[in-house]
Structure 1
Amino acid sequence: MSGDLLVLEGVHTHIGAYHILHGVDLRVPKGQLTMLLGRNGAGKTTTLRTIMGLWQASAGRVTFAGEDITRWPTPRIAQRGVAYVPENMGIFADLTVRENMLLAARGARHATQIDEARLQWIFTLFPAVEKFWNHPAGKLSGGQKQMLAVSRAIVEPRELLVIDEPSKGLAPAIINNMIEAFAQLKESGVTILLVEQNFNFAKRLGDTVAVMDNGTIVHAGSMQELADDEQLQHSLLGLAL
């Protein structure tokens, strides 16, 4: 697969009186996993929310599959094939795992109408979703909630997954499970844009990487190149590995 599925060109975003994004240029190649890295407060979450139309860009352009989606409302962006998993996961704690999944499967009115083959594939990625199918989502562990959040995002076919810090607060064993799941999703042809603070997580998964600082992209290239250059890591991210 070649070409860029998602492109941001000179994107500025204001939130109230605050100017958060200062001309963001970002390319997400089709069929690859792109990591968006940066220190806390660099503008990563604002970038994702701007892509999804949750916050409107005040200047610049966001293009998805060749279409200008800069002014599109969030539901239209989702219907076009973009799924978003926010940092807080956005699950409904009082509903069961099954009910959470059903809400995300817009073409189904009953759980039996969810695509069975796709559901079984999700169960292989995240066995906990099947194990706790009839349990309240609020009773799940942090890792299990994260698995449910990603499962909801992929219960219907998507072209692009936009995910904010999936490994935050998770145990190493759960992180390894998440890495394997994202690798399988990428192999299935899904394009992924992923914000991450865990650099070891990022370098194991990423094909390309963009690094943000003060509301702009300060570095873009291959993930392998950044993983191999400790001096560059330290200058961009303040890491000492």
Structure 2
Amino acid sequence: MSAPLLTLAGVHTHIGPYHILQGVDLQVPRGQLTMLLGRNGAGKSTTLRTIMGLWRASAGAIGFAGASLRGVGTADIAARGIAYVPENMGIFSDLTVRENMLLAARSGPMDGARLEWIFTLFPSLKQFWDKPAGKLSGGQKQMVAIGRALVEPRQLYMFDEPSKGLAPVMVNSMVAALRALKEQGATVLLVEQNLAVAQALGDSVAVMDAGRVIHHGAMAQLAADADLQQRLLGLHLAAAPAPAPAGEGA
């Protein structure tokens, strides 16, 4: 396994009176796509938000690229090279697709070659370049959110359930884009409920329950063990067909 780019050790997070993360231990290997799986309410989204500093860890260590993220502000965490796409996408509905992308280009003007690469992944971004992002379909908004995360190279990309609520053809487009990002050697932490997506993309996997990581290992190992899937997730990967490469739909 590659050396970890991101490490969480004994991380606890309280939100008001609620103790959500209860000692999370997690390693995200450099250059791999790590799946973060678990039932609803297991603490997956809270883990991503805690890494980004949107919610502050009350105990434990968060290390990224050899430095601590504990106590660092969200803007500074992003500036260190972490792109984060939340479950609600976080796009600016009143701004055009172009303006949404420009805001993500922290280092200056958008790189033309990289932008053309993004257009090959998501042709609708070019088609709706000057239209308000809020007027797009749910799937197209998700493409804007992912495209915005890709507009500059980052050390780590974190996506929170990017396939949620998408039509199958849009899921296929999203999987193809993440596969292309993975083939470039990117480090990705991906929260998913769609186990077929997890199977199609994951190198390593961590499974959460009740605010802790209860299993970690190779995604292929989990995909091959139906009993382990049932015990950890209450589901079987074989129950859902894997996404197939497809063109982007509406």
Equivalent residue, structure 2, for 1:234: 230
What residue identity is the alignment partner of 2:209? D
Q: Distance in 2 between matches of 1:64 and 1:43?
A: 20
Equivalent residue, structure 1, for 2:133: 137
Q: Distance in 1 between matches of 2:201 and 2:186?
A: 14
Q: Distance in 1 between matches of 2:94 and 2:186?
A: 30
Q: Distance in 2 between matches of 1:239 and 1:186?
A: 26
Residue 42 of structure 2: SS of its match in structure 1? Answer: coil
Alpha-carbon displacement from aligned partner over 1:29-84 (angstroms, at most 9, x marks no partner): 00000000000000000000000011111000000011111111111110000010
Pairwise CA distance, 1:117: 0.8
What residue identity is the alignment partner of 1:168? K
Asked if residue 5 in structure 1 is aligned to residue 5 in structure 2, the reply is yes
Map 1:82-231 → 2, pairs under 5 A: 82-108=82-108, 113-231=109-227
Q: Distance in 1 between matches of 2:70 and 2:220?
A: 31
Map 1:57-72 → 2, pairs under 5 A: 57-72=57-72
Alpha-carbon displacement from aligned partner over 1:65-106 (angstroms, at most 9, x marks no partner): 111111111111100000100000000111110111111112
Pairwise CA distance, 1:2: 2.7
What residue identity is the alignment partner of 1:99? E
Asked if residue 41 in structure 1 is aligned to residue 41 in structure 2, the reply is yes
What residue identity is the alignment partner of 2:199? K
Alpha-carbon displacement from aligned partner over 1:116-162 (angstroms, at most 9, x marks no partner): 11111111111111111011101111111111001111111101001
Q: Distance in 2 between matches of 1:102 and 1:180?
A: 24
Which deviates the most, 178-187 or 81-90? 178-187
Equivalent residue, structure 1, for 2:78: 78
Q: What 5-or-longer segments of structure 2 have no aligned partner?
A: 240-250
Q: Distance in 1 between matches of 2:34 and 2:70?
A: 20
Q: What 5-or-longer segments of structure 1 have no aligned partner?
A: none
In the alignment of these two chains, the number of paired residues is 237
Residue 221 of structure 2: SS of its match in structure 1? Answer: helix
What residue identity is the alignment partner of 1:136? P
Residue 158 of structure 1: SS of its match in structure 2? Answer: coil
Alpha-carbon displacement from aligned partner over 1:188-241 (angstroms, at most 9, x marks no partner): 121000000000010000000000000000100000000011111011001143
TM-score normalised to the size of structure 1?
Answer: 0.96
What residue identity is the alignment partner of 1:74? T
What residue identity is the alignment partner of 2:137? S
Residue 169 of structure 1: SS of its match in structure 2? Answer: coil
TM-score normalised to the size of structure 2?
Answer: 0.93
Equivalent residue, structure 1, for 2:53: 53
Q: Distance in 1 between matches of 2:70 and 2:190?
A: 20
State, as a whole percentage, how many aligned pairs show the same letter: 67
Equivalent residue, structure 1, for 2:247: none
